[in-house]
Amino acid sequence: MNQEELFKNIISHSKEYGFIFQSSEIYDGLSAVYDYGQMGAELKKNLRDFWWKSMVQMHQNIVGIDAAIFMHPTTWKASGHVDAFNDPLIDNKDSKKRYRADVLIEEHLAKIMAKADKEVEKAKTRFGEAFDEALYRKTNPRVTEYVAKAEAIENRFKHALEANNLEEVRQIIIDCEIVCPVSGTKNWTEVRQFNLMFSTSMGSVSEEASTIYLRPETAQGIFVNFLNVQKTGRMKIPFGIAQTGKAFRNEIVARQFIFRMREFEQMEMQFFVRPGTEMEWYNYWKETRMKWHRALGFGENKQKFHDHIKLAHYANAACDIEFAFPFGFKELEGIHSRTDYDLKKHEEYSGKKLQYFDPELNQGYVPYVVETSIGLDRLFLAVLSESYKEETLEDGSSRVVLSIPFPLAPVKVAVLPLVNKDGLAEKAEEIVDMLKYDFRVSTEAKDAIGKRYRRNDAIGTPYCVTVDYDTMADGTVTLRHRDTMAQERVKIDDLRQILLKDLHMSTLLKKC
Ligand code: GAP
């Protein structure tokens, strides 16, 4: 199965098992907007909890808030979003498809670098053990030629973006002979900037109505509350403020399922530091966040850092943690050193001082900020793509299993009476009642037990507990493990302790 087929299968599996539905599907859907179903909502909540606990509960110097989506419109003027939150767009005149010009160029660069990597891979197989990759990359003429070509385009692109020279961005696309993936032609329009914020109005028409925006990032809710939290929480620098919540962007090129949506959820943390120490904290958070991703059990080769070519208007250093989605390595999380840009701008526009008095230095200053920002929906897609497995079993049958890390699984335990008679279902209910205070537990009696195991594999339930006639006689049940399908006999009295060991969120948190 190639990656494209795999991705299609993941999308239909998500729908079939109640993870994700197209929004307003009965009206043919709303483009790039999705609803989470009964399984999806649980998984999403668990991912959010994992992030919140690892950030807030595990750090004494980080607190969480929940700011409103609507903010005073001047917020977005101050933050630069009204003037600069734009995507450079280009249309292909033949296919009438619209693209982000920067993405077209970045994908072209990635293709050139992939050619260099292919040369290295070929040489690695040819030379075996004795292969010195670093030396080969430095000296092989074909590899160095690819790298030089990519660097030259990258530099030209960087300068064009910095100078906001959209003519030049278009010329790079032409010169690189980038074609439209749909029409295959180079018949491009000019490049235009398009603001991504959704606006609406507050107040009735007869009153003074004012334009307000749906927040395009949660971060500004943290910045405007910086002093409120610092003062009331008696926070000492360095400290962080975290929040999770909806953000909205009028994405023009919205593709790839829940990867790029118009309404999505962010989990952001702003870490306020003493000016001059920001690079130290930037590196600290890069490592810490990568460790967090590794705790999810993704392989080492599944994530990588990608430094930004063009820094956002507020940053002096920025990188992404990219994940190997079925459609390639793409941004999952951003880590940004945002300097004192936001707080200073809010000081300027509000006329209020947003300074911290540092008792150690005996002076006040506007703190610098290092931000970690991850999209919850993208994380959801990463976990889903990584967990989805189509397996052929020893007896020739097949199953789809979601090997979601245990503490994150939507349902933790399914309690299944072997048959729906002779008091077995009632016994199962008793076990559900015992476990429901600790875990999300389900029970169902319909269909053969094998079918019920498969249904639970398909939603990633780590354990099935089977109640049979022996249960009624000796108080034991069969505990079936999702990944190995191994079964063992355990006492009902021991069940809770056995399950707690594997299913509790602390098992993941200890790896962060
Ligand atoms: N406060 C900084 C900020 O918003 P960003 O790189 O624009 O930075 C952060 O967004 C994260 O939000 C991204 O890494 C991504 O995971 C998620 N994200 C951004 N736009 C998204 C979209 N349209 N759909 C889903 N997730 C998105």
Tokens standing for residue 355: 């300074």
Three-class SS of 383-416: HHHHHEEEEECCCCCEEEEECCCHHHCCCCEEEE
CA distance 226 to 346: 11
Distance (Å, rounded) from C-alpha 218 to C-alpha 76?
12
Q: How far is the CA of 218 from the centre of ligand 1 (A)?
A: 10
Among the residues of 32-140, which ranges form H helices? 38-52, 74-78, 81-84, 101-127, 133-139
CA torsion angle 245 52 76 381 (round to 10): -60
Q: Which of 348, 344, 337 is nearest to 366 (CA)?
A: 344
Cis previous bond, 367, omega within 30: no
Q: How many CB atoms lie within 10 A of CB 229?
A: 18
Is the previous residue joined to 216 through a cis bond, with omega within 30 degrees of 0?
no
What are the angstrom distances between the C-alpha of 234 and each of 62, 175, 239, 362? 12, 56, 10, 16
Strand-strand pairing, 328-339 and 356-358: unpaired
Q: Which amino acid appears at position 472 of this protein?
A: M
Distance 94 CA to ligand 1 centre (A): 31
β-bridge partners, 20: 36
CA distances from 304 to 167, 208, 255 (A): 32, 50, 22
Among 172, 201, 212, 205, which residue's Cα sits nearest to residue 188? 172
332 Cβ inside 6 Å of ligand 1: yes
Q: Which atom of ligand 1 is nearest to the CA of 379?
A: 16
Nearest atom (ligand 1) to Cα of 320: 14
Strand-strand pairing, 441-443 and 463-467: unpaired
Q: Which helix (H) or strand (E) holds 337?
A: strand 328-339
Q: For position 329, what pLDDT does the model report?
A: 94
Q: Are 180 and 195 in contact (CB under 8 A)?
A: no
Q: Is the CB of 219 under 6 A from ligand 1?
A: yes
pLDDT value at position 310?
A: 74
CA of 338 to the centre of ligand 1 (A): 15
* C-alpha 290 to ligand 1 mean position (Å): 17
What are the residues whose beta carbons fall under 8 Å from the beta carbon of 57, sequence distance 6 or more? Answer: 509
Cβ(378) – ligand 1 distance below 6 Å: yes
- Let me know: does 307 contact 318? Beta carbons within 8 Å: yes
Rg (CA), the chain: 26
Query: Can you tell me which atom of ligand 1 is nearest the CA of 260?
Result: 24
Cβ–Cβ < 8 Å for 174, 188? yes
Q: Give, using CA atoms, the residue closest to atom 14 of ligand 1.
A: 333
Q: Tell me, what DSSP letter sits at residue 96?
A: -
pLDDT per residue, tens digit, the chain (512 aa), is: 789 999 999 999 999 999 999 999 999 999 999 999 999 999 999 999 999 999 999 999 999 999 999 999 999 999 999 988 988 999 999 999 999 999 899 899 989 999 999 999 999 999 988 899 989 999 999 999 999 999 999 999 989 988 889 999 999 999 999 999 999 999 999 999 999 999 998 876 555 568 899 999 999 999 999 999 999 999 999 999 999 999 999 987 767 899 999 999 999 999 999 999 999 999 999 999 999 999 999 888 999 999 987 787 778 999 999 999 999 999 999 999 999 999 999 999 999 999 999 999 999 999 999 999 999 999 999 999 999 999 999 899 999 999 999 999 999 999 999 999 999 999 999 999 999 999 999 999 999 999 999 999 999 999 999 999 999 999 999 999 999 999 999 999 999 999 999 999 999 999 99
Amino acid symbol at 257:
F
Report if pTM > 0.85.
yes
CB atoms under 10 Å from CB of 339, counted, come to 19
DSSP code of residue 70? B
- CA atoms within 13 Å, Cβ hemisphere of 349: 17
Rounded to the nearest angstrom, the distance between the alpha carbon of 374 and the centre of ligand 1 is 6
For ligand 1, atom 5, name the residue with the nearest CA: 334
DSSP states along 273-336: E-TT-HHHHHHHHHHHHHHHHHHTT--GGGEEEEE-SS--TT-SEEEEEEEEETTEEEEEEEEE
Nearest residue by C-alpha to atom 17 in ligand 1: 375
Q: 260 CB under 6 A from ligand 1?
A: yes
- Using CA positions, which residue lies closest to atom 9 of ligand 1? 373
Is the shortest distance between the CB of 375 and ligand 1 below 6 Å?
Answer: yes
Residue 84 Cα to ligand 1 midpoint, Å, equals: 16
pLDDT at residue number 207: 57
The DSSP result for 214-248, as a single string, is: B-S-SHHHHHTTHHHHHHHTT--SSEEEEEEEEEE
Q: Is 352 helix (H, G, I), strand (E, B) or coil?
A: coil
Region class of 308: left (phi > 0), else alpha (psi between -120 and 50), else beta: beta
Give strand ranges (E) for 74-222.
86-91, 98-100, 192-195, 199-202, 210-213
**424 CB under 6 A from ligand 1?**
no
Pocket lining: 217 vs ligand 1, CB cutoff 6 Å: yes
The bridge status of strand 199-202 relative to strand 210-213 is antiparallel
- Check pocket membership of 215 for ligand 1, CB cut-off 6 A: no
Nearest CA to 431 out of 406, 462, 468 is that of 468
| Residue whose CA lies nearest to ligand 1 atom number 16 | 375
Strand partners for 36: 20
Q: SS3 for 208? A: coil
Tell whether the torsion through CA atoms of 39, 300, 48 and 252 is positive or negative.
negative
How many whole angstroms from 381 Cα to the centroid of ligand 1?
14
- Distance in Å, CA 421 to ligand 1 centroid: 52
Q: Is 374 in the pocket of ligand 1 (CB under 6 A)?
A: yes
